[in-house]
Amino acid sequence: MNKSMSRTARFAIGAIALSAAALFGAASADAATLKGAPPPFDKGGVKIALVNYLSEGDFFQAYEAGAQKQAKALGIDLRIYEGRQDAAQQRDQIQQAINLGVSAIIVNHGLPESLKDVVQQALDKGIKVVAFDVDLANPKIPQIEQSDHDLATLLLGQAVKDNGNAFSAGYVYVAGFAPLDRRDAVWQAFKQAHPGVHEQARWGTVDNPIAQSVANQAAAAYRAHPDIRVVIAPYDEFARGASLAADEANVASKLRIYSADISTADIEAIRAPGSAWVATAATNPAVVGAVSVRAAALDVAGQPLAHHIVVKPTLVTRDDLVKNDIHTIAELGVKFPAFRVSDAATAAWIPVD
């Protein structure tokens, strides 16, 4: 997130936090005064670990910032382990968190097969585990997601609205990431239901820097398949790469790109004159980070928590951004309340941003 956005966002989020606190009659950011909080949150200083598989890019930075802010409001000592897309390192970090004696571990993405036994060790020691976007297939581990089904359905619906039922498409995808796999299932079903839609080329990589790596692949795909008119790129780093390549190849005017995720930088890219990137279906990742911490806190407190915790996405088009003069995530939150706050994993004693 850039710095000017952060300042505006902090102001908006602060205002919302105040109204939320008033609404719930609870909660200041000082753990010692968390009125009505159950043990161990009544004393403060509860240690929780956030163990990331991916950390780079706007989505994951905003997710982490949202988690930190919510943790601070709950008086939680949040220990963050950065993800480097290294399964062995993520296992090791979970082990470190267990040894540190945390009360809960939030697992953010990762490869299920390399995590299932180590998270079971945590559970066996009485440590709560919640997972965001990695299916650990354990009834004791609540799963948080953005409703990838809805997200993909929204962006494909907009693609049909803009382009009709028949078009040549490029598709950006990497298998093995739970949210991308869930979005892919929708894309596969969509193609079955729309025989006029042809996937002409598929590419994708999560090699850092992701957007540039995807741009290099997209440039080759655009050269080989000049008939591509629509690009389905359901991750903002993918869309940024697809858009960059379209600009460089001077084909942006004949392409439309549909994505997932949003950040202030994405809003700028979508709004840019002549941009091929026309719509995205997204949540506010900072809200998802906050929901992840609240879910972990409820689990630690032994309070009711759904097994599937969903943060619903919203469709945002360039027209929405231009007509409403929206330039930042904070401004987006004024128009679309879902970008300010979620009611997922809440309780009266929890301050909600």
- Tell me which residues touch ligand SR1 (CB under 6 A): 59, 133, 146, 177, 179-180, 206, 235, 260-261
Return all residues near 308 (Cβ < 8 A) that are at least 6 apart. Answer: 142, 143, 145
Q: Which is nearer to ligand SR1, 41 or 235 (CB)?
A: 235
Looking at the Cβ atoms of 177 and 190, the one nearer to ligand SR1 is: 177
Helices assigned H by DSSP within the chain: 3-24, 58-73, 87-100, 112-124, 148-163, 178-193, 210-224, 236-248, 264-271, 285-300, 318-323, 329-335
CB of 32 to ligand SR1, least distance (A): 35
**Least separation, in Å, of the C-beta of 293 and ligand SR1?**
17
Shortest Å, Cβ 258 to ligand SR1: 13
Residue number with CB closer to ligand SR1 (103 or 280): 280
Whole-angstrom Cα distance, residue 305 to residue 144?
11
Closest CB to ligand SR1 among 73 and 180?
A: 180
Helix (H, G, I), strand (E, B) or coil at 244: helix
Tell me how far, at minimum, the Cβ of 278 lies from ligand SR1, in Å.
17
Give the bridge partners for 172, in sequence order.
203
Rounded to the nearest 10 degrees, how much is the dihedral formed by the CA atoms of 136, 138, 144, 150? 80
Q: Least CB distance from residue 136 to ligand SR1, whole Å? A: 15
Q: Which of 248, 197, 261 is nearest to 218 (CA)?
A: 248
Considering the complex, state which of residue 108 and residue 328 has its C-beta at the smaller distance from ligand SR1. 108
Q: How far is the CB of 46 from ligand SR1 (least distance, A)?
A: 26
Which residue type does 197 have?
A: V
- What token pair was written down for 275? 């941009």
Nearer to ligand SR1, 188 or 303 (CB): 188
Instruction: State in angstroms the smallest separation of the CB of 73 from ligand SR1.
Output: 23
CB nearer to ligand SR1: pick between 95 and 208: 208
Of 133 and 299, CB closest to ligand SR1: 133
Q: Residues near 343 by Cβ (< 8 Å), separated by ≥ 6?
A: none
Residue 274, sorted as left (phi over 0), alpha (psi -120 to 50) or beta, turns out to be: left
Two tokens, residue 45: 């200083």
Tokens at 307, concatenated: 């097994």
Q: How far is the CB of 100 from ligand SR1 (least distance, A)?
A: 26
Report the C-alpha gap between 81 and 90 in whole angstroms.
8
Tokens 């161990």 identify what position? 40
